[in-house]
Amino acid sequence: MSSSGNSESTQYRLPDLLRNWPWTRHLSPHYARAKKESSAWVASFRPFKSKGQKAFDACDLNFVRAGCDLMNFYFVYDEYTDIADASVANELATIVIENMTEDSLDQDVPSSSSTHILGQMTRQFWKRASTLAKPGSPCFAHFIATSERYLRAVSLEAEDRAMHRVRSFDDYFILRRDTCGARPTLALIEFGLDLPEEVTSDPVIQALTQDAVDLIILVNDMHSYIREISCGLADHNVLTPIMRDYNLDLQSALNWMDTYTSRVIERFLSNQARMPSWGPDIDARVRMYIDGLGQWVRGNDDWSCEGKRYHGSDGLVIRDTRMVTICPRKANYIQEDENPELVVYQLGTRTVVQEYGEEVPGMEDIKDVLH
């Protein structure tokens, strides 16, 4: 397979990208309450039609409340911008930015901004998040700056989509470091740690953070390829430029990604070992920050298998067997009522068909129809 545009039924093996990652799964004790509250919060906005909401609800976000809210918001924002052109995507970005500033809660914002669903979600999220650190803490500025980079980068992605532009691997990674939304989610780790600017701007800390972002991208794009090719969005997935730049089929591209990921992990661990010291108190907080990076990388992989956004109800089986077969059709949550998502893949000798993230029974002979 040489490109995303003409993909047919393809069986491939997912590499275990994090087999040498030292951070193991750790579930927050606040998980159950945070998940329940955040899911109810998103549902209260009714961002999707009934069938699209059913698919969205199948996702299982395993983070404490602020992380849950942010990830839920990103998924809603992603669905809106995935079907938007660059102009509309920029308008949506402006709406969010106007409602996510340190003083936005104390002043009126334009009515079109404050009443839009994304504006409402942003204000409510920021009202809660702004209580998680001391006023004026650098983490707020870091979060806002990285969020704006994410929002504007998504507009560039929309422009690429409209122009059917597939970037080179290097150019893709530059843009993807912002479109993936990892930078602001990692900035959340700073909340409450009160890390001085001299620490967060240190070259080693910066390198660790960027490598964590890159690992999140690689893991996410490996898992999300299934959904993105079914939605016609795989041009903005790292596997596509890998295949095109190096003239590889899909399985070879996954193997290439595996080798590349191993080098990123080695670099991360090497930088961790040469961390400067700022004294016992700050060093302890830095260790918490680095542990947060490690847990985000691990959690991203765990959620991709245990949630239903990418692999439906068979994520744990795919995690164990590493084998998947895709027969794509296009749809996203916003478009569900008009064109439901259909994903077909092979689990051993069993062919699984899913609509809206739920398995459709009685479809064992679907391959005879598809072929």
Extents of the domains making up the chain? 10-370
Quote the CA–CA distance of 287 and 100 in Å, as a whole number: 29
Chain center to CA of 273: 28
**For the chain, how many helices (H) and strands (E)?**
16, 5
CATH code reported for the domain at 10-370: 1.10.600.10
Distances in Å between the Cα of 256 and the Cα atoms of 159, 237, 239, 249, 262 are: 28, 14, 9, 10, 10
Question: Which segments of the chain does DSSP mark as H helices, in order?
Answer: 31-44, 50-57, 65-82, 86-98, 111-115, 117-129, 138-162, 169-179, 182-187, 197-200, 203-230, 239-246, 250-273, 280-306, 315-321, 366-370
Strands, E, within the chain: which ranges?
Answer: 10-13, 323-328, 342-347, 350-355, 358-359
Q: How many CB atoms lie within 10 A of CB 155?
A: 22
Contact predicate 286/240, CB 8 Å: no
Encode the chain (371 residues) as per-residue pLDDT tens digits: 334 444 455 678 999 999 999 998 766 565 566 666 666 665 665 544 444 444 434 343 333 667 778 877 877 887 777 777 778 888 888 888 888 875 555 555 555 666 778 888 888 888 877 777 788 888 889 988 998 998 889 888 888 888 888 899 999 999 999 998 899 989 988 887 889 999 999 999 999 999 999 999 999 999 989 878 877 778 889 999 999 999 999 999 999 999 999 999 999 999 999 999 999 999 999 999 999 999 999 989 988 888 777 777 777 888 888 988 775 444 444 444 444 444 444 344 444 444 444 444 444 443 333 33
Which amino acid, 282? I
Using a 10 angstrom Cβ sphere, with 0-12 exposed, 13-18 middle and 19 or more buried, the burial of residue 348 is exposed
Whole-prediction pTM: 0.74
Quote the CA–CA distance of 347 and 359 in Å, as a whole number: 13
Residue 158's pLDDT is 84
Cβ-Cβ contacts under 8 Å for 270 (sequence gap 6 or more): none
Q: What percentage of the chain's residues is helix, strand, coil (to nearest 5)?
A: 60, 5, 30
Residue 315's pLDDT is 78
